[in-house]
Amino acid sequence: MHLAVVVPAFNESEALREFHLRLAAVFDKLDGMRCEVLYVDDGSRDDTYSVMCSLRDADARVSTLKLSRNFGKELALTAGLDHVDADAVVVIDADLQDPPELIPTFIAHWREGYDVVYGTRASRAGESRLKKLTASAFYRVMERLSNTPVPRDTGDFRLLSRRALDGMKQLRERQRFMKGLFTWVGFKQLSVPYDRDPRFAGTTKFNYWRLWNFALDGITSFSGAPLKAATYVGSFTAMIAFIYGVWVLIKALVWGDTVKGYPSLMLVVLFLGGVQLVALGVIGEYLGRLYVEAKQRPLYLTDEFVAAAENPADR
């Protein structure tokens, strides 16, 4: 049995050594499994990559992958998954917010026959009220809108079986909302609650602007609901406008036109203009994403990949 752990990291040099210590301790306890960890450097600007290299030199179970620039967590994860080939893969953050000690539990459930075992945050320590609030609002909106329900309060921390991994590798879309893709893959999935720790060191890489864009990507890649809403709002307004138009016509025919009506005119023009802009904006969001897909660019570029010393023949 072969276990691979994929760790995306962006400016995590402070946390990485501690992370590896805790992960290595977990590996040591997993008897009878060949364990490997792949650190993906997502274009860090600090010395994250050199820390990774020194970990690799000291431990034969470590592979490193360096991307050519910062592509964002979703793509760093994708790159990592592309470069591993194992019976089970665990995806985990480098900042120790997801405890590596939970991996044996994931493996036990995988042995029971689950293909995707994911950690659900029972609590989130060290995160601001606003972050928790917006996160939970997002999961609830996603739940309502999407036909691939993304489990609540679930990050990317999870284990994938080989067939789930192979499924993930086939998904080559560019706007990648990984949580949604993991769910899309299907198979037998299980949630394991855990308490999310505060960051070991450094600060979060996601400010609210990034999170908002992340949420937009999530919603537009897994739901056409905003498009539908635009259609409904548009048709509803058009209907009201039509009825009002008929009323205005009848009024003018019966009582004659007394040049009033400036307020209602402005009202209608502004309202219709507004609705049209909203609908256009929604269409634009989807169009913009189609445009990105149409360019067919590679998802990421690799700067350097060094496989773990233990299994050079694998690739």
- Nearer to ligand UDP by Cβ, of 148 and 204: the residue is 204
Query: Contacts with ligand UDP in 225-254 (CB under 6 A)?
Result: none
- Nearer to Mg ion by Cβ, of 126 and 288: the residue is 126
Q: CA-CA distances (angstroms) from residue 67 to 176, 207, 232, 247? A: 17, 22, 44, 64
- Nearer to ligand UDP by Cβ, of 195 and 257: the residue is 195
Exactly one of 94, 164, 185, 219 binds ligand UDP (CB under 6 A); that residue is 94
First-to-last C-alpha distance (Å) of the chain: 17
Q: CA-CA distances (angstroms) from residue 215 to 36, 58, 142, 176? A: 32, 39, 9, 11
How many Å apart are CA 88 and CA 34, to the nearest integer?
11
Q: Does 11 bind Mg ion (CB under 5 A)?
A: no
Which entry of ligand UDP, Mg ion, none binds 70, CB below 5 to 8 A by partner kind? ligand UDP
Q: Which stretch, 68-76, 179-187, 278-286, 291-299, contacts ligand UDP (CB under 6 A)?
A: 68-76
Neighbours of 117 (CB within 10 A): 27
- Nearer to Mg ion by Cβ, of 184 and 206: the residue is 206
Q: Does 97 bind Mg ion (CB under 5 A)?
A: yes
How many Å apart are CA 53 and CA 47, to the nearest integer?
10
Q: Does 95 bind Mg ion (CB under 5 A)?
A: yes
What is the token pair recorded at 138? 């997002």
Which entry of ligand UDP, Mg ion, none binds 217, CB below 5 to 8 A by partner kind? none
Neighbours of 84 (CB within 10 A): 25
Strand order in the sheet with 62-67: 189-196, 116-124, 154-161, 88-91, 2-9, 34-41, 62-67, 302-306
Nearest to 62 by CA among 29, 21, 102, 98: 21
Query: Contacts with ligand UDP in 192-221 (CB under 6 A)?
Result: 204-206
Q: Which stretch, 9-17, 103-111, 229-237, 302-310, contacts ligand UDP (CB under 6 A)?
A: 9-17
Minimum CB separation from ligand UDP for residue 52, in Å? 12
**Residues forming the site for Mg ion (CB under 5 A):** 95, 97
**Residues forming the site for ligand UDP (CB under 6 A):** 8-10, 12, 42, 70, 72-73, 76, 93-95, 97, 204-206
